[in-house]
Amino acid sequence: MIAVGQPFPDFSLADQDGNVHTLSSFAGAPVVFYFYPKDDTSGCTTEACEFRNEIPNLGDIRVVGVSPDSVKSHRKFADKYELNFTLLADPEKELLEAVGIWVEKSMYGKKYMGVERTTVAVDAKGVVTHVWNKVKPAGHAAEVLAKLRS
């Protein structure tokens, strides 16, 4: 799992419009990368909409959602909920694995691989400043904003 003080891993991933982003695409401003399991599911929708609503309060902080869903899925999700930030598609789980959040999970005794809902704040130079593990979606965007503004 990535930790505070470490450089955020470089990546090359497409957003909901098919535009490719790398870590250097976000250089010069702080970024909140929030990692979530699946577009248009209840918890993920709650989290996305709360980040959408907090965007006006974030100043120069950018928000980027990352999940293993496809570019097409992200486009539908962004359109449906009028999301005003970048969603990166990581179907090969490259960034998810590099950050250490593509993990074995268990539900009803069945084991499977999935995203551990996590948020990582990165400074303008690409260094991790905060990590939130095992995030509960409701209220999380406000929690992130409060921490970053303190």
Widest CA span of the chain, in angstroms?
A: 45
**Options 3.40.30.10, 3.30.930.10, 3.40.50.2000, 3.20.20.70; which CATH number does 12-149 get?**
3.40.30.10
Per-residue pLDDT of the chain (150 residues; tens, 9 = 90+): 999 999 999 999 999 999 999 999 999 999 999 999 999 999 999 999 999 999 999 999 999 999 999 999 999 999 999 999 999 999 999 999 999 999 999 989 999 999 999 999 999 999 999 999 999 999 999 999 999 987
Within 10 angstroms of residue 94's Cβ, the number of other Cβ atoms is: 15
Please state, in angstroms and rounded to a whole number, the distance separating the CA atoms of residues 91 and 63.
20
44 catalytic residue (yes or no): yes
- Tell me what pLDDT residue 150 has: 78
- Tell me what pLDDT residue 149 has: 85
Structural contact between residues 57 and 50, judged by C-beta atoms closer than 8 angstroms = no
- Tokens 């130079």, located at residue: 125
Three-state DSSP state, 149: helix
Q: Which amino acid is at 148?
A: L
- Tell me what pLDDT residue 31 has: 97
What pTM was estimated for this model as a whole?
0.96
Given the residues 13, 31, 32, 44, select the one marked as catalytic.
44
* CA 148 to centroid of chain Cα atoms: 16
Note the helical H segments in 55-121.
71-80, 94-99
- Tell me what pLDDT residue 76 has: 98
